[in-house]
C-alpha cells in the first residue's frame, strides 16, 4: 500500500495589501524610514490579509473544502483531519475541532500539529503513518494562517521598526490543504526525513499566548528576528537532500518539481544555487502571496498543478525549514 495526494485546495482572503501599504500601516513615512524595504529584502510585492472576523478555522475550512471536492471524495470518507498552522483560533481546544465542525465531519478524529512552518509536512508524515498502519484511509491535512493579526504595526521609533518589520510585514494570510489516501498504484510518499536543531529555539519567538507571558499585550506579535535562523539554513551541509534522493533511487536531475518553503526570495535563490536545483523546476509564490508559514507548501503545490509544472507521475521533492530550528525533506511521486 502507498499513500498519495488525492486532492489539493487553497483559500486566500479577499483583501490584498501591497508592500507599500503595509509599510505605511507600520509607520514608515511617519518615522522617516525608506519605503520599498520589504520588497527589496524579501521579494514580497503583495499579500492577503484576513477580514476582521475571519479566523484560522474559517480559512482552513475553505481550503479543506476545496481539497475534498478536488479529491472526488465526500466528507463521509474522511477518517482524520490534522490542522497544521503557526496561528490558531485559541490556545485550547485544538482548532482542528472547529474546522471539522464547519466541514460537518462525523467519522473523523482530529488534532493539531504545531512546529513552525514545517508543521504541514509533519502532518503529511503523520497521515502517511496513519494510513499505512490501517488507522485511517483518507486524511485531510490543512493549514489556515492569519499571521496579519500577529504583525506589529504600532512602532514608536525607526530603530525598533527596522529590527523586525521587514520580515513581519512580508507575512500573509491564507490556507492550503491536501487529502491523502491509500492507493495500490506505484506512487505517493516514498520517503521522509526530519532533523531538528533545538539550540536555536530562542529566535523569532512569539512569546504571547503561553504561560510565560499570559497577559502581556506587548508579547502578542512575531518579532521578526530571523537572522540566526537564516544563517543556519544557509550553512547546513548535512546532505539531507542527497540522502533522501539516494533512498528513493533518484538523482537531482530526476526531480520534476521542488516544493520549497517561501521565507524570502533571496534565501531560496541562494539555496538553489548551492544545491544545484534547476529554477525552472520551482514555483515562487512569495511575490504575490508573501510568506504564509505552514500554508506555503500547499499553496506552492496547488499553484504548480494549475501551471502544469506538476502532473500525474511527477517526482516532487518537498524541502522545508522552520523556527525551532528544523529542516525536512519528503520525496513524493504524483
Residue range 164-176: mean pLDDT, rounded: 94
| Claim to verify: residue 74 and residue 103 sit in the same structural domain | yes
DSSP H stretches of helix in the chain: 19-25, 37-42, 56-71, 95-103, 119-132, 158-168, 227-235, 240-247, 265-275, 286-289, 296-307
Instruction: Single out the residue in 183, 213, 235 at which a domain terminates.
Output: 183
Q: Identify the three-state secondary structure at position 36.
A: coil
pLDDT digits (tens, 9 = 90+) for 228-269: 877 777 776 557 888 899 999 999 999 999 999 888 888 888
pTM of this structure: 0.94
| Claim to verify: residue 150 and residue 205 sit in the same structural domain | no
Is 82:110 a contact under the CB 8 Å cutoff? yes
List the one residue out of 318, 313, 321, 315 whose CA is nearest residue 329. Answer: 318
DSSP code string of 119-169: HHHHHHHHHHHHHHTTS-SEEEEEEEE-GGGGS-----SHHHHHHHHHHHT
- Is the pLDDT at 55 greater than 90, yes or no? yes
Rg for the chain, CA atoms, rounded = 19
| Claim to verify: residue 61 and residue 134 sit in the same structural domain | yes
State residue 237's pLDDT score: 53
Q: Which of 21-25, 32-36, 209-213 has the highest mean pLDDT?
A: 21-25
| Claim to verify: residue 234 and residue 159 sit in the same structural domain | no
Tell me the sheet residues that pair with 17: 47
| Claim to verify: residue 112 and residue 235 sit in the same structural domain | no
State residue 272's pLDDT score: 86
> How many CA atoms, within 13 angstroms, populate the side-chain half-sphere of residue 133?
7
| Claim to verify: residue 210 and residue 305 sit in the same structural domain | yes
Look up the CATH number of the domain holding residue 46. Answer: 3.40.47.10
Sequence-separated (6 or more) residues with CB below 8 Å from residue 117: 86, 261, 263, 293, 294, 296, 320, 321, 322, 323
| Claim to verify: residue 157 and residue 228 sit in the same structural domain | no
Q: How far apart are CA 225 and CA 230, in angstroms?
A: 10
pLDDT digits (tens, 9 = 90+) for 63-92: 999 999 999 999 999 999 999 999 999 999
Angle among Cα 230, 233, 235 to the nearest 5 degrees reads 105
| Claim to verify: residue 155 and residue 201 sit in the same structural domain | no
Domain that holds residue 294: 188-333
Instruction: Single out the residue in 161, 183, 205 at which a domain terminates.
Output: 183
List the one residue out of 154, 156, 167, 178 whose CA is nearest residue 206. Answer: 167
Instruction: Single out the residue in 142, 160, 183 at which a domain terminates.
Output: 183
| Claim to verify: residue 131 and residue 193 sit in the same structural domain | no
Question: How many domains does one find in the chain?
Answer: 2
| Claim to verify: residue 217 and residue 144 sit in the same structural domain | no
| Claim to verify: residue 177 and residue 203 sit in the same structural domain | no
pLDDT-derived band at 225, boundaries 50, 70, 90 = confident
List the one residue out of 228, 262, 226, 259 whose CA is nearest residue 241. Answer: 259
| Claim to verify: residue 193 and residue 315 sit in the same structural domain | yes
Amino acid at each position: 500500500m502507498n499513500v498519495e495526494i488525492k486532492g489539493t485546495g487553497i483559500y486566500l482572503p479577499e483583501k490584498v495589501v501591497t508592500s507599500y501599504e503595509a509599510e505605511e500601516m507600520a509607520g514608515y513615512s511617519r518615522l522617516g524610514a525608506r519605503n520599498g524595504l520589504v520588497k527589496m529584502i524579501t521579494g514580497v510585492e503583495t499579500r492577503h490579509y484576513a477580514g476582521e472576523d475571519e479566523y484560522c478555522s474559517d480559512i482552513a475550512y475553505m481550503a479543506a473544502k476545496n481539497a475534498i471536492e478536488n479529491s472526488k471524495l465526500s466528507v463521509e470518507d474522511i477518517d482524520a483531519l490534522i490542522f497544521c498552522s503557526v496561528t490558531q483560533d485559541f490556545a485550547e481546544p485544538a482548532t482542528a475541532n472547529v474546522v471539522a465542525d464547519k466541514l460537518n465531519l462525523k467519522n473523523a478524529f482530529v488534532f493539531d500539529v504545531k512546529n513552525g512552518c514545517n508543521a504541514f509536512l509533519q502532518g503529511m508524515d503523520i497521515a502517511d503513518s496513519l494510513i499505512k498502519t490501517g488507522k485511517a484511509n483518507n486524511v485531510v491535512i490543512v493549514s489556515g494562517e492569519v499571521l496579519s493579526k500577529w504583525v506589529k504595526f504600532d512602532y514608536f521609533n525607526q530603530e525598533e521598526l527596522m529590527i523586525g518589520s521587514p520580515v513581519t510585514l512580508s507575512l500573509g494570510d491564507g490556507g492550503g490543504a491536501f487529502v491523502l489516501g491509500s492507493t495500490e498504484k506505484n506512487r505517493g510518499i516514498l520517503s521522509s526525513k526530519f532533523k531538528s536543531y533545538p539550540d536555536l529555539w530562542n529566535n523569532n519567538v512569539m512569546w504571547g499566548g503561553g504561560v510565560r507571558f499570559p497577559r502581556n499585550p506587548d508579547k502578542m506579535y512575531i518579532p521578526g528576528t530571523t537572522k540566526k535562523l537564516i544563517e543556519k539554513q544557509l550553512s547546513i551541509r548535512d546532505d539531507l537532500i542527497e540522502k533522501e534522493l539516494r533512498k528513493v533511487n533518484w538523482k537531482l536531475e530526476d526531480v520534476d518539481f521542488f516544493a520549497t518553503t517561501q521565507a524570502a526570495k533571496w534565501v531560496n535563490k541562494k539555496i538553489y544555487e548551492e544545491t544545484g536545483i534547476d529554477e525552472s523546476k520551482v514555483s515562487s509564490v512569495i511575490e504575490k502571496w508573501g510568506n504564509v508559514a505552514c500554508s506555503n507548501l500547499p499553496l506552492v503545490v496547488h499553484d504548480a498543478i494549475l501551471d502544469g509544472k506538476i502532473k500525474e507521475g511527477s517526482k516532487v521533492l518537498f524541502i522545508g525549514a522552520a523556527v525551532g530550528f528544523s529542516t525536512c525533506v519528503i520525496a513524493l511521486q504524483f
